[in-house]
Structure 1
Amino acid sequence: MSCQQTILDYGLRSLGYGERLLPKSDFTLCQHFTLIGSGLIWNIYFGALALLIGFFIANAMALAKASPRAMLRRPAEWFILIFRGSPLFIQFFLAYFIFLRLKQQGLLPWLTAAQFGALLVLILNTAAYSAEIFYGALRSVPNGEVEAADAYGLTGWSRFRRVIWPTSLRLAWPAYTNEAIFLFHATTLVFFSGFPAWQQR
Protein backbone atom coordinates (compact mmCIF):
# COMPACT_ATOMS: atom_id res chain seq x y z
CA MET A 1 0.00 0.00 0.00
CA SER A 2 1.41 3.40 -0.99
CA CYS A 3 1.76 6.25 1.48
CA GLN A 4 -0.85 8.28 -0.41
CA GLN A 5 -3.35 5.42 -0.17
CA THR A 6 -2.57 5.04 3.53
CA ILE A 7 -3.36 8.72 4.13
CA LEU A 8 -6.61 8.42 2.16
CA ASP A 9 -7.62 5.28 4.10
CA TYR A 10 -6.58 6.30 7.61
CA GLY A 11 -6.13 10.10 7.65
CA LEU A 12 -9.63 10.79 9.01
CA ARG A 13 -10.04 7.50 10.89
CA SER A 14 -10.46 9.24 14.26
CA LEU A 15 -13.46 11.12 12.84
CA GLY A 16 -15.10 7.86 11.73
CA TYR A 17 -14.19 8.04 8.03
CA GLY A 18 -12.09 5.57 6.09
CA GLU A 19 -10.91 2.12 7.09
CA ARG A 20 -12.10 0.91 10.49
CA LEU A 21 -9.58 -1.92 10.99
CA LEU A 22 -5.94 -1.18 11.59
CA PRO A 23 -3.33 -2.53 9.17
CA LYS A 24 -2.22 -6.01 10.21
CA SER A 25 1.01 -6.46 8.28
CA ASP A 26 3.79 -4.39 6.74
CA PHE A 27 3.29 -1.62 9.31
CA THR A 28 5.22 1.24 7.74
CA LEU A 29 6.47 4.56 9.08
CA CYS A 30 3.87 6.32 6.91
CA GLN A 31 1.10 4.34 8.60
CA HIS A 32 2.47 5.24 12.05
CA PHE A 33 2.52 8.96 11.26
CA THR A 34 -0.89 8.85 9.57
CA LEU A 35 -2.59 7.11 12.50
CA ILE A 36 -0.96 9.40 15.07
CA GLY A 37 -1.85 12.45 12.95
CA SER A 38 -5.43 11.27 12.69
CA GLY A 39 -5.73 11.13 16.47
CA LEU A 40 -4.13 14.56 16.78
CA ILE A 41 -7.17 16.07 15.03
CA TRP A 42 -9.17 15.62 18.25
CA ASN A 43 -6.35 16.93 20.44
CA ILE A 44 -6.09 20.11 18.35
CA TYR A 45 -9.88 20.54 18.39
CA PHE A 46 -10.11 20.21 22.19
CA GLY A 47 -6.99 22.22 22.94
CA ALA A 48 -7.60 25.12 20.57
CA LEU A 49 -11.26 25.66 21.46
CA ALA A 50 -10.70 25.23 25.20
CA LEU A 51 -7.87 27.77 25.12
CA LEU A 52 -9.83 30.26 23.04
CA ILE A 53 -13.04 30.17 25.08
CA GLY A 54 -11.28 29.60 28.41
CA PHE A 55 -9.12 32.70 27.89
CA PHE A 56 -12.13 35.02 28.01
CA ILE A 57 -13.76 33.20 30.93
CA ALA A 58 -10.44 33.30 32.81
CA ASN A 59 -10.09 37.05 32.36
CA ALA A 60 -13.64 37.57 33.61
CA MET A 61 -12.98 35.33 36.63
CA ALA A 62 -9.71 37.10 37.42
CA LEU A 63 -11.48 40.47 37.35
CA ALA A 64 -14.28 39.09 39.52
CA LYS A 65 -11.78 37.70 42.03
CA ALA A 66 -9.99 41.07 42.16
CA SER A 67 -13.29 42.89 42.69
CA PRO A 68 -13.98 44.52 46.10
CA ARG A 69 -17.61 43.35 45.83
CA ALA A 70 -18.18 40.06 47.64
CA MET A 71 -21.05 39.03 45.35
CA LEU A 72 -18.57 38.96 42.44
CA ARG A 73 -15.48 37.85 44.32
CA ARG A 74 -16.91 34.87 46.25
CA PRO A 75 -18.36 32.91 43.28
CA ALA A 76 -15.10 33.43 41.36
CA GLU A 77 -13.06 32.19 44.33
CA TRP A 78 -15.25 29.09 44.68
CA PHE A 79 -15.14 28.37 40.95
CA ILE A 80 -11.34 28.55 40.94
CA LEU A 81 -11.06 26.51 44.14
CA ILE A 82 -13.29 23.69 42.88
CA PHE A 83 -11.73 23.31 39.45
CA ARG A 84 -8.14 23.74 40.63
CA GLY A 85 -8.63 21.61 43.71
CA SER A 86 -9.89 18.45 42.01
CA PRO A 87 -8.17 16.19 39.45
CA LEU A 88 -9.18 16.73 35.84
CA PHE A 89 -9.79 13.00 35.37
CA ILE A 90 -12.36 13.04 38.20
CA GLN A 91 -13.97 16.16 36.69
CA PHE A 92 -14.43 14.25 33.42
CA PHE A 93 -16.10 11.32 35.19
CA LEU A 94 -18.38 13.50 37.32
CA ALA A 95 -19.36 15.65 34.35
CA TYR A 96 -20.10 12.62 32.19
CA PHE A 97 -22.41 11.09 34.78
CA ILE A 98 -24.14 14.43 35.38
CA PHE A 99 -24.60 14.92 31.64
CA LEU A 100 -25.83 11.32 31.30
CA ARG A 101 -28.44 11.93 34.03
CA LEU A 102 -29.55 15.13 32.23
CA LYS A 103 -29.85 13.16 28.99
CA GLN A 104 -32.04 10.57 30.72
CA GLN A 105 -34.28 13.43 31.85
CA GLY A 106 -34.48 14.65 28.24
CA LEU A 107 -32.27 17.70 28.88
CA LEU A 108 -29.21 18.67 26.83
CA PRO A 109 -28.58 15.21 25.31
CA TRP A 110 -25.70 16.52 23.18
CA LEU A 111 -23.52 17.09 26.29
CA THR A 112 -22.76 13.37 26.58
CA ALA A 113 -20.75 13.53 23.34
CA ALA A 114 -17.04 14.23 23.75
CA GLN A 115 -16.94 17.13 21.33
CA PHE A 116 -19.34 19.09 23.58
CA GLY A 117 -19.30 17.67 27.12
CA ALA A 118 -15.58 16.97 27.41
CA LEU A 119 -14.84 20.29 25.74
CA LEU A 120 -16.96 22.06 28.37
CA VAL A 121 -14.98 20.37 31.17
CA LEU A 122 -11.67 21.36 29.56
CA ILE A 123 -12.88 24.95 29.12
CA LEU A 124 -13.89 25.24 32.79
CA ASN A 125 -10.68 23.58 33.98
CA THR A 126 -8.33 25.77 31.97
CA ALA A 127 -10.40 28.85 32.81
CA ALA A 128 -9.89 28.19 36.53
CA TYR A 129 -6.13 27.70 36.25
CA SER A 130 -5.74 30.64 33.88
CA ALA A 131 -7.91 32.87 36.08
CA GLU A 132 -5.52 32.35 38.97
CA ILE A 133 -2.61 33.22 36.67
CA PHE A 134 -4.33 36.38 35.41
CA TYR A 135 -5.37 37.34 38.93
CA GLY A 136 -1.76 37.12 40.08
CA ALA A 137 -0.70 39.20 37.09
CA LEU A 138 -3.32 41.84 37.88
CA ARG A 139 -1.96 42.08 41.42
CA SER A 140 1.58 42.40 40.02
CA VAL A 141 1.01 45.40 37.74
CA PRO A 142 3.55 48.02 38.90
CA ASN A 143 2.05 50.96 40.76
CA GLY A 144 4.19 53.30 38.68
CA GLU A 145 2.31 52.35 35.51
CA VAL A 146 -1.05 52.95 37.17
CA GLU A 147 0.13 56.30 38.52
CA ALA A 148 1.43 57.26 35.08
CA ALA A 149 -1.98 56.43 33.59
CA ASP A 150 -3.60 58.60 36.25
CA ALA A 151 -1.20 61.43 35.39
CA TYR A 152 -2.28 61.19 31.75
CA GLY A 153 -5.91 61.48 32.82
CA LEU A 154 -6.85 57.87 32.12
CA THR A 155 -9.46 56.51 34.48
CA GLY A 156 -11.82 53.55 34.78
CA TRP A 157 -12.26 51.37 31.71
CA SER A 158 -9.85 53.42 29.60
CA ARG A 159 -7.05 52.96 32.14
CA PHE A 160 -7.78 49.24 32.43
CA ARG A 161 -7.92 48.68 28.65
CA ARG A 162 -4.82 50.73 27.78
CA VAL A 163 -2.51 50.12 30.72
CA ILE A 164 -3.53 47.51 33.29
CA TRP A 165 -4.81 44.70 31.05
CA PRO A 166 -1.94 44.75 28.50
CA THR A 167 0.63 44.85 31.29
CA SER A 168 -1.03 42.01 33.18
CA LEU A 169 -1.15 39.88 30.02
CA ARG A 170 2.55 40.50 29.46
CA LEU A 171 3.29 39.46 33.04
CA ALA A 172 1.03 36.40 32.81
CA TRP A 173 2.32 35.19 29.45
CA PRO A 174 5.07 32.76 30.64
CA ALA A 175 2.78 31.00 33.12
CA TYR A 176 -0.14 31.03 30.66
CA THR A 177 1.91 29.32 27.95
CA ASN A 178 2.70 26.57 30.47
CA GLU A 179 -1.02 26.18 31.17
CA ALA A 180 -1.67 25.93 27.41
CA ILE A 181 0.91 23.14 27.12
CA PHE A 182 -0.59 21.28 30.09
CA LEU A 183 -4.03 21.64 28.53
CA PHE A 184 -2.91 20.03 25.27
CA HIS A 185 -1.42 17.18 27.30
CA ALA A 186 -4.70 16.82 29.20
CA THR A 187 -6.77 16.39 26.04
CA THR A 188 -5.63 12.76 25.91
CA LEU A 189 -7.64 12.06 29.10
CA VAL A 190 -10.92 12.65 27.26
CA PHE A 191 -11.02 9.19 25.72
CA PHE A 192 -10.27 7.43 29.00
CA SER A 193 -13.19 9.09 30.77
CA GLY A 194 -16.21 7.53 29.03
CA PHE A 195 -17.07 10.35 26.64
CA PRO A 196 -17.82 8.83 23.22
CA ALA A 197 -16.46 10.83 20.28
CA TRP A 198 -18.46 11.63 17.16
CA GLN A 199 -19.00 8.46 15.09
CA GLN A 200 -16.94 6.44 17.59
CA ARG A 201 -18.15 3.29 19.27
Structure 2
Amino acid sequence: MSCWETIADYSLRSIGIGSRLLPKENFTLCQQFTLIGSGMIWNIYFGVFALLSGFFFAVTLAVGKNAKNPLFRKPAEWFIFLFRGSPLFIQFFFAYYLFLSLKQVVPIFAPFTAAWIGALVVLFFNTAAYSGEIFFGALLSIPKGDIEAADAYGMSGWNRFRRITFPTMLRLAWPAYTNEAIFLFHATTLVYFSGFPAWRQKGDALYYANYFADKTFNPFIPYPILAGYFIVLTLILIGLFGLANTRLHRHMPKEARRKIRYRPNLIR
Protein backbone atom coordinates (compact mmCIF):
# COMPACT_ATOMS: atom_id res chain seq x y z
CA MET A 1 0.00 0.00 0.00
CA SER A 2 1.42 3.35 -1.03
CA CYS A 3 1.51 6.37 1.28
CA TRP A 4 -1.24 8.10 -0.69
CA GLU A 5 -3.47 5.05 -0.30
CA THR A 6 -2.71 5.03 3.43
CA ILE A 7 -3.70 8.69 3.71
CA ALA A 8 -6.91 8.03 1.79
CA ASP A 9 -7.80 5.07 4.03
CA TYR A 10 -6.80 6.38 7.45
CA SER A 11 -6.67 10.19 7.47
CA LEU A 12 -10.28 10.48 8.69
CA ARG A 13 -10.55 7.17 10.50
CA SER A 14 -10.91 8.83 13.91
CA ILE A 15 -14.28 10.25 12.88
CA GLY A 16 -15.53 7.06 11.25
CA ILE A 17 -14.55 7.71 7.63
CA GLY A 18 -12.28 5.28 5.81
CA SER A 19 -10.92 1.87 6.69
CA ARG A 20 -12.34 0.32 9.86
CA LEU A 21 -9.42 -2.07 10.46
CA LEU A 22 -6.16 -0.85 11.89
CA PRO A 23 -2.89 -2.13 10.38
CA LYS A 24 -1.66 -5.25 12.14
CA GLU A 25 1.94 -5.63 10.91
CA ASN A 26 4.68 -4.04 8.82
CA PHE A 27 3.94 -0.61 10.24
CA THR A 28 5.28 2.27 8.18
CA LEU A 29 6.06 5.85 9.10
CA CYS A 30 3.28 6.97 6.78
CA GLN A 31 0.74 4.86 8.69
CA GLN A 32 1.88 6.26 12.02
CA PHE A 33 1.90 9.88 10.84
CA THR A 34 -1.50 9.46 9.20
CA LEU A 35 -3.32 7.71 12.04
CA ILE A 36 -1.86 9.88 14.79
CA GLY A 37 -2.72 12.94 12.70
CA SER A 38 -6.23 11.55 12.29
CA GLY A 39 -6.55 11.30 16.06
CA MET A 40 -5.54 14.97 16.36
CA ILE A 41 -8.99 15.80 14.98
CA TRP A 42 -10.45 14.83 18.36
CA ASN A 43 -7.83 16.77 20.32
CA ILE A 44 -8.57 19.87 18.23
CA TYR A 45 -12.31 19.28 18.70
CA PHE A 46 -11.96 19.12 22.49
CA GLY A 47 -9.68 22.14 22.62
CA VAL A 48 -11.61 24.42 20.28
CA PHE A 49 -15.08 23.85 21.75
CA ALA A 50 -13.90 23.91 25.37
CA LEU A 51 -11.95 27.11 24.73
CA LEU A 52 -14.74 28.95 22.90
CA SER A 53 -17.49 28.05 25.36
CA GLY A 54 -15.19 28.36 28.37
CA PHE A 55 -14.21 31.90 27.40
CA PHE A 56 -17.71 33.29 27.92
CA PHE A 57 -18.19 31.34 31.15
CA ALA A 58 -14.79 32.54 32.38
CA VAL A 59 -15.78 36.17 31.84
CA THR A 60 -18.98 35.51 33.81
CA LEU A 61 -16.99 33.91 36.63
CA ALA A 62 -14.53 36.82 36.73
CA VAL A 63 -17.32 39.38 36.89
CA GLY A 64 -19.11 37.31 39.53
CA LYS A 65 -15.97 36.99 41.67
CA ASN A 66 -15.43 40.73 41.38
CA ALA A 67 -19.02 41.50 42.42
CA LYS A 68 -19.76 43.05 45.81
CA ASN A 69 -22.91 40.99 46.29
CA PRO A 70 -21.97 37.67 48.00
CA LEU A 71 -24.80 35.89 46.15
CA PHE A 72 -22.75 36.33 42.96
CA ARG A 73 -19.26 36.40 44.45
CA LYS A 74 -19.32 33.24 46.59
CA PRO A 75 -20.53 30.77 43.92
CA ALA A 76 -17.90 32.08 41.51
CA GLU A 77 -15.17 31.85 44.16
CA TRP A 78 -16.07 28.28 45.12
CA PHE A 79 -16.39 27.13 41.51
CA ILE A 80 -12.95 28.50 40.63
CA PHE A 81 -11.44 27.07 43.82
CA LEU A 82 -12.95 23.62 43.20
CA PHE A 83 -11.73 23.22 39.63
CA ARG A 84 -8.37 24.87 40.19
CA GLY A 85 -7.79 23.00 43.43
CA SER A 86 -8.39 19.48 42.09
CA PRO A 87 -6.35 17.67 39.40
CA LEU A 88 -7.88 17.52 35.94
CA PHE A 89 -7.24 13.77 35.84
CA ILE A 90 -9.42 13.25 38.94
CA GLN A 91 -12.11 15.51 37.49
CA PHE A 92 -12.35 13.24 34.44
CA PHE A 93 -12.91 10.12 36.55
CA PHE A 94 -15.33 11.80 38.95
CA ALA A 95 -17.38 13.23 36.07
CA TYR A 96 -17.51 9.89 34.26
CA TYR A 97 -18.90 8.02 37.25
CA LEU A 98 -21.25 10.90 38.04
CA PHE A 99 -22.67 10.82 34.52
CA LEU A 100 -22.83 7.04 34.70
CA SER A 101 -24.91 7.26 37.88
CA LEU A 102 -27.15 9.99 36.49
CA LYS A 103 -27.67 7.88 33.37
CA GLN A 104 -29.39 5.21 35.46
CA VAL A 105 -31.88 7.76 36.80
CA VAL A 106 -32.22 10.19 33.88
CA PRO A 107 -31.56 8.55 30.48
CA ILE A 108 -30.92 11.94 28.91
CA PHE A 109 -27.43 11.82 30.49
CA ALA A 110 -26.49 8.72 28.45
CA PRO A 111 -24.49 10.71 25.82
CA PHE A 112 -22.46 12.32 28.61
CA THR A 113 -20.80 8.97 29.39
CA ALA A 114 -19.05 9.13 25.99
CA ALA A 115 -15.82 11.04 25.52
CA TRP A 116 -17.09 13.33 22.76
CA ILE A 117 -19.39 15.21 25.17
CA GLY A 118 -18.54 14.06 28.71
CA ALA A 119 -14.83 14.84 28.47
CA LEU A 120 -15.67 18.09 26.70
CA VAL A 121 -17.81 19.19 29.66
CA VAL A 122 -14.93 18.56 32.07
CA LEU A 123 -12.46 20.49 29.92
CA PHE A 124 -15.01 23.30 29.60
CA PHE A 125 -15.38 23.66 33.38
CA ASN A 126 -11.64 23.33 33.99
CA THR A 127 -10.51 25.95 31.50
CA ALA A 128 -13.35 28.28 32.56
CA ALA A 129 -12.08 28.15 36.15
CA TYR A 130 -8.46 28.88 35.24
CA SER A 131 -9.40 31.54 32.69
CA GLY A 132 -11.87 33.07 35.14
CA GLU A 133 -9.07 33.57 37.66
CA ILE A 134 -6.89 35.13 34.94
CA PHE A 135 -9.66 37.53 33.95
CA PHE A 136 -10.39 38.32 37.59
CA GLY A 137 -6.78 39.32 38.12
CA ALA A 138 -6.99 41.51 35.02
CA LEU A 139 -10.15 43.18 36.37
CA LEU A 140 -8.29 44.09 39.54
CA SER A 141 -5.43 45.51 37.46
CA ILE A 142 -7.55 47.91 35.41
CA PRO A 143 -6.25 51.44 36.11
CA LYS A 144 -8.65 53.43 38.23
CA GLY A 145 -8.12 56.37 35.92
CA ASP A 146 -9.86 54.48 33.11
CA ILE A 147 -12.93 53.89 35.26
CA GLU A 148 -12.95 57.48 36.50
CA ALA A 149 -12.67 58.76 32.93
CA ALA A 150 -15.63 56.57 31.94
CA ASP A 151 -17.63 57.96 34.85
CA ALA A 152 -16.71 61.49 33.80
CA TYR A 153 -18.13 60.79 30.34
CA GLY A 154 -21.34 59.54 31.91
CA MET A 155 -20.75 55.87 31.19
CA SER A 156 -22.14 53.34 33.65
CA GLY A 157 -23.37 49.78 33.85
CA TRP A 158 -23.30 47.69 30.68
CA ASN A 159 -22.08 50.56 28.48
CA ARG A 160 -19.00 51.11 30.64
CA PHE A 161 -18.29 47.38 30.85
CA ARG A 162 -18.60 46.90 27.07
CA ARG A 163 -16.50 49.90 26.03
CA ILE A 164 -13.96 50.27 28.86
CA THR A 165 -13.81 47.40 31.36
CA PHE A 166 -14.05 44.40 29.04
CA PRO A 167 -11.52 45.57 26.37
CA THR A 168 -9.02 46.64 29.03
CA MET A 169 -9.45 43.34 30.88
CA LEU A 170 -8.75 41.41 27.66
CA ARG A 171 -5.63 43.42 26.88
CA LEU A 172 -4.21 42.80 30.34
CA ALA A 173 -5.17 39.11 30.47
CA TRP A 174 -4.41 38.06 26.89
CA PRO A 175 -0.77 36.87 27.32
CA ALA A 176 -1.70 34.69 30.30
CA TYR A 177 -4.87 33.52 28.56
CA THR A 178 -2.78 32.47 25.55
CA ASN A 179 -0.75 30.16 27.76
CA GLU A 180 -3.95 28.74 29.26
CA ALA A 181 -5.25 28.00 25.75
CA ILE A 182 -2.01 26.19 24.86
CA PHE A 183 -2.13 24.16 28.05
CA LEU A 184 -5.78 23.26 27.39
CA PHE A 185 -4.91 21.72 24.03
CA HIS A 186 -2.07 19.78 25.66
CA ALA A 187 -4.44 18.62 28.40
CA THR A 188 -6.75 17.02 25.82
CA THR A 189 -4.33 14.07 25.77
CA LEU A 190 -5.57 13.17 29.26
CA VAL A 191 -8.92 12.17 27.75
CA TYR A 192 -7.24 8.94 26.66
CA PHE A 193 -6.46 8.03 30.28
CA SER A 194 -9.87 9.03 31.63
CA GLY A 195 -12.79 6.69 32.15
CA PHE A 196 -14.55 8.01 29.05
CA PRO A 197 -14.43 5.30 26.36
CA ALA A 198 -13.36 5.94 22.79
CA TRP A 199 -16.17 5.59 20.28
CA ARG A 200 -15.76 2.33 18.31
CA GLN A 201 -11.98 2.36 18.78
CA LYS A 202 -11.77 5.76 17.12
CA GLY A 203 -9.78 7.65 19.71
CA ASP A 204 -7.59 10.73 19.88
CA ALA A 205 -3.95 11.09 18.84
CA LEU A 206 -2.57 9.46 22.00
CA TYR A 207 -4.85 6.46 21.40
CA TYR A 208 -3.12 5.75 18.07
CA ALA A 209 0.36 6.59 19.37
CA ASN A 210 -0.11 4.13 22.20
CA TYR A 211 -1.42 1.52 19.73
CA PHE A 212 1.74 1.69 17.63
CA ALA A 213 3.99 1.75 20.70
CA ASP A 214 2.33 -1.44 22.00
CA LYS A 215 2.48 -3.22 18.66
CA THR A 216 6.07 -2.31 17.75
CA PHE A 217 7.50 -2.22 21.31
CA ASN A 218 9.18 1.00 20.22
CA PRO A 219 7.77 4.18 21.80
CA PHE A 220 10.50 6.35 20.26
CA ILE A 221 8.70 6.73 16.94
CA PRO A 222 4.97 7.27 17.64
CA TYR A 223 5.38 9.50 20.71
CA PRO A 224 7.82 11.94 19.06
CA ILE A 225 5.39 12.08 16.12
CA LEU A 226 2.62 12.97 18.57
CA ALA A 227 4.83 15.60 20.21
CA GLY A 228 5.61 17.04 16.77
CA TYR A 229 1.92 17.46 15.99
CA PHE A 230 1.38 19.31 19.27
CA ILE A 231 4.40 21.54 18.66
CA VAL A 232 2.92 22.55 15.30
CA LEU A 233 -0.46 23.10 16.97
CA THR A 234 1.19 25.26 19.63
CA LEU A 235 2.88 27.41 16.98
CA ILE A 236 -0.46 27.88 15.23
CA LEU A 237 -2.11 28.91 18.50
CA ILE A 238 0.68 31.38 19.27
CA GLY A 239 0.27 32.87 15.81
CA LEU A 240 -3.52 33.19 16.05
CA PHE A 241 -3.47 34.61 19.57
CA GLY A 242 -0.65 36.93 18.53
CA LEU A 243 -2.85 38.35 15.78
CA ALA A 244 -5.66 38.84 18.29
CA ASN A 245 -3.21 40.51 20.66
CA THR A 246 -2.13 42.90 17.93
CA ARG A 247 -5.77 43.70 17.27
CA LEU A 248 -6.40 44.40 20.95
CA HIS A 249 -3.42 46.78 21.11
CA ARG A 250 -3.92 48.40 17.70
CA HIS A 251 -4.49 51.82 19.29
CA MET A 252 -1.14 51.80 21.11
CA PRO A 253 2.31 52.69 19.70
CA LYS A 254 4.39 49.68 18.63
CA GLU A 255 6.97 50.05 21.40
CA ALA A 256 4.22 49.90 24.04
CA ARG A 257 2.51 46.77 22.73
CA ARG A 258 2.81 43.60 24.82
CA LYS A 259 4.07 40.63 22.82
CA ILE A 260 2.86 37.06 23.32
CA ARG A 261 5.42 34.81 24.97
CA TYR A 262 4.89 31.14 25.66
CA ARG A 263 5.42 30.35 29.35
CA PRO A 264 4.69 26.65 29.94
CA ASN A 265 2.98 25.53 33.15
CA LEU A 266 5.36 22.95 34.57
CA ILE A 267 3.05 22.15 37.48
CA ARG A 268 -0.70 22.69 37.51
TM-score, with normalisation over the residues of structure 2? Answer: 0.72
Give the unaligned 5+ runs of structure 2. Answer: 203-268
Equivalent AA in structure 2 for residue 177 of structure 1: T
Identity of aligned residues (%): 65
Q: Could you tell me which residue of structure 2 aligns to residue 27 of structure 1?
A: 28
Query: Any idea what the Cα deviations from partners look like across 1:139-180, whole Å, max 9, x if unmatched?
Result: 100111111212222122111110111000010000000100
Q: Could you tell me which residue of structure 2 aligns to residue 62 of structure 1?
A: 62
C-alpha distance in structure 1 between counterparts of 2:151 and 2:173, whole Å: 23
Q: Could you tell me which residue of structure 2 aligns to residue 5 of structure 1?
A: 5
Note the 1:140-151 alignment, pairs <5 A.
140-151=141-152
Q: Could you tell me which residue of structure 2 aligns to residue 156 of structure 1?
A: 157
Q: CA RMSD in A?
A: 1.4
1:40 Cα offset (Å): 0.3
Asked if the contact 1:13/1:20 (under 8 Å) is kept, the reply is no
When the two structures are aligned, how many residues end up with a matched partner?
Answer: 200
Note the 1:20-99 alignment, pairs <5 A.
20-22=21-23, 24-25=25-26, 27-28=28-29, 30-99=30-99
Query: Any idea what the Cα deviations from partners look like across 1:59-106, whole Å, max 9, x if unmatched?
Result: 001000000000110011000000000000000000000111111224
Matched position secondary structure for 1:22: coil
For structure 1, which segment, 16-25 or 59-68, has the greater mean C-alpha deviation from structure 2 after superposition? Answer: 16-25
C-alpha distance in structure 2 between counterparts of 1:26 and 1:94, whole Å: 37
1:198 Cα offset (Å): 2.9
TM-score, with normalisation over the residues of structure 1? Answer: 0.95
Query: Any idea what the Cα deviations from partners look like across 1:19-62, whole Å, max 9, x if unmatched?
Result: 4222521513x223211210100000000000000000000010
C-alpha distance in structure 2 between counterparts of 1:64 and 1:26, whole Å: 53
For structure 1, which segment, 75-84 or 189-198, has the greater mean C-alpha deviation from structure 2 after superposition? Answer: 189-198
Equivalent AA in structure 2 for residue 49 of structure 1: F
Give the unaligned 5+ runs of structure 1. Answer: none
Equivalent AA in structure 2 for residue 24 of structure 1: E
Matched position secondary structure for 1:49: helix
C-alpha distance in structure 1 between counterparts of 2:25 and 2:199, whole Å: 25
